[in-house]
Amino acid sequence: MREIRKFLLRASVLILPFLVLLGAPFFVLFANHELLSFKQITAIHNGDSLAVIGPAYSNPDKYMKLNTVLNRKPGILALGTSRVMKIRSFFFKQPASFYNAGGGIDKVKPFDFLLKQIPLRSQPTVVFVGLDQYFFNEKFDNLSTSDFDAEYNDNFSLLAYTFDNCFLIWHQLLSGKINFSSQHAGNFIGLNAGVNHNGFLFDGSYYYGERMQHPEIAKDYHFKDTFERIEKGIKRFEYSAAVNQKAIVSLDSFLSHCAARGIKVYGFLPPYANSVISKMRAMSDNYRYIENLYNAVRPSFDKYAFKVFDFTDMSQAGIMDKNFIDGFHGSDKVYLKMMMNMCGQDTSLNAYFDKEHLQTLYNKSKNDLEVL
């Protein structure tokens, strides 16, 4: 008995500092629904139409988007990165048939992978594809093979998220950014939703609460961060003169599979804020691939009788810097304008949109960023 007591005492002395160190972050993560597996998060996303999904310490986007598509079987799908996330369900004639899988793709190759995961019987009839310009820059993506099965898996690990984020959470606790009390009032899942009101809505689109409420504290306020990236040629703004032909081949393969499966595709090159694209053009040698991109992707779209639109620069369409969330993410209003523009160029889109409805929405926009 004496030996057990001695052991317990010493083990406590050894373990106690770690329990204290890990206990607070664990509590914060637990109380704010950060310790939910991707499967659980996806279930909430599909089950609760008011939930805002915004974990700060894990990234369930790929798993959640893929599995929501498989679960909801939307007729109209938006595919791409965060730069398609502002296509909203209320733009469409039948909002319930739309799902925005923006954030489920981060390069050109996963388009094909994601399509292959969708069974024929539950495939969409039409897909809006956001072709981020940097997908076609070899410096950003050299198209080496990737383990997509692993990337789209539920690789949540409670230990990993607690241990890996321990010091960051302590830092945020001590700096007052978060506190011990639960921040998930209402249907906010995760600290990014709870604290910043950022997160995915039921239709898969993204709500930038922090940007709406406190634009001055945003990292990219006045596009400071984007300009810095351009000056350094980093983080999606790498310099390149030529369009990566391997990426064009990969896009062509995706389009051919869509054509073979009878899925209609509308592609678009998403917009940059006016002053951002101006700055990039001023360094034309560094971003020559962007200037040539539309003409490089168009033949593939033409080959399969699909349409592609170039919204890289929307200054001519009456869009201004103030309509952007940040340097390369347009707001609801920008994307609404894009849809109106697309309908004007291609009447086949009238099957999905009501032009008058779009115009009314635009005219009655709540502010420079939000439509409703």
Partner 1 sequence: MLFNSLSFFIFFPVVTILYFLVAHRYRWFLLLVASCIFYAYFIPAYILILFITIVIDYTAGILIDREQGKKRKLYLVISIIANVGFLAIFKYYNFFIENTNRFFHGMHAGWHDWPYLNLILPIGLSFHTFQSMSYTIEVYRRKQQPEQHFGIYALYVMYYPQLVAGPIERPQNMLHQFREKQSFDYKRVTDGLKIMAWGMFKKVVIADSLAVVVSQFYHAPQNYSSLSAIFAIICFSFQIYCDFSGYSDIAIGSSKVMGIQLMRNFRQPYLSRSFSEFWQRWHISLSSWFRDYVYIPLGGNRKGTFRKYLNIMIVFLLSGLWHGANWTFVVWGGLHGFFLVLSGVSDKKKVTSGKHLLKKVSSLGKIGLIFFFVSIAWIFFRSSSVNQAWHIMGIAGGDGHVASSLKNTLLAYNITPRKMLYLIAVVLLLLGVDLVQEKTDIVQFINSKPLVARWSCYFCIIFITIFFGVWGNQQFIYFQF
Residues that bind partner 1 (CB under 8 A): 3-4, 6-7, 10, 14, 17-18, 22, 142, 144-147, 155, 157-160, 163-164, 166-167
Q: Write down the least CB distance from residue 304 to partner 1, Å.
A: 29
Q: Is the CB of 18 or the CB of 221 nearer to partner 1?
A: 18
Q: Is the CB of 1 or the CB of 372 nearer to partner 1?
A: 1
Q: Write down the least CB distance from residue 3 to partner 1, Å.
A: 4
Q: Is the CB of 215 or the CB of 233 nearer to partner 1?
A: 233
All residues at 6 or more sequence positions from 313 whose CB lies less than 8 Å from its CB, including other chains: 271, 272, 274, 277
Q: Write down the least CB distance from residue 143 to partner 1, Å.
A: 10
Q: Is the CB of 164 or the CB of 346 nearer to partner 1?
A: 164
Strand segments, DSSP code E, in the chain are: 52-53, 76-80, 98-102, 126-130, 188-189, 198-200, 206-208, 264-269, 307-310, 324-326, 329-330
Q: Write down the least CB distance from residue 58 to partner 1, Å.
A: 11
d(CA 100, CA 107): 17
Q: Write down the least CB distance from residue 277 to partner 1, Å.
A: 29
Q: Write down the least CB distance from residue 147 to partner 1, Å.
A: 6
Q: Write down the least CB distance from residue 14 to partner 1, Å.
A: 6
82 alpha-carbon distance from chain centroid: 3
The DSSP-derived string for 121-189 is: GG--SEEEEE--GGGG-TTT-------HHHHTS----HHHHHHHHHHHHHHHHHTTSS-SS----TTEE
d(CA 36, CA 50): 18
Q: Is the CB of 11 or the CB of 282 nearer to partner 1?
A: 11
Q: Is the CB of 37 or the CB of 125 nearer to partner 1?
A: 37
**R_g over Cα of the chain:** 23
Q: Is the CB of 31 or the CB of 158 nearer to partner 1?
A: 158
CA proximity to 334, closest of 277, 290, 278, 270: 270
d(CA 265, CA 352): 13
Contact 227, 277 (CB under 8 A): no
Q: Write down the least CB distance from residue 163 to partner 1, Å.
A: 5
Strand segments, DSSP code E, in 236-296 are: 264-269
d(CA 84, CA 326): 14
Angle, helices 158-174 vs 2-31, to 10°: value is: 70
Q: Is the CB of 35 or the CB of 265 nearer to partner 1?
A: 35
